[in-house]
Amino acid sequence: MAKKRGDRSPNLKLRQPDRSGPSTKTLLELAEERDLFVLAKNKEDANKKAKRAETHGESIQRGGEDGDDGDDDGAELSPTTERILDTILWTISLAMLHFTLDVLVQHQFSADRVVWAKVWTRAGQALLVFAMLFYPLHPHPSNPSILPGLPKRVQPIIRQSIFFVASICAGCYLIHITNTYGYMAVMKRAPPVGCLWVWSVIELDLPWAVLSLASAGSFLLLKGYSIR
3-state helix, strand and coil shares in percent for the chain, rounded to the nearest 5: 70, 0, 25
Question: What pLDDT, in 10s, does the model give residues 161-189?
Answer: 999 999 999 999 999 998 888 888 888 89
Per-residue pLDDT tens listing for the chain (228 residues): 455 555 555 566 666 666 666 666 666 666 666 666 677 777 788 888 777 777 766 666 665 555 555 444 556 778 788 888 989 999 999 999 999 999 888 887 766 677 888 889 999 999 999 999 998 888 877 776 766 677 778 888 888 999 999 999 999 999 999 888 888 888 889 999 999 999 999 999 999 999 999 999 999 999 888 766
* pTM, entire model: 0.63
Q: Given this model, what pLDDT does residue 40 score? A: 76
CA 12 to chain centre: 99
Q: How far apart are CA 174 and CA 155, in angstroms?
A: 28
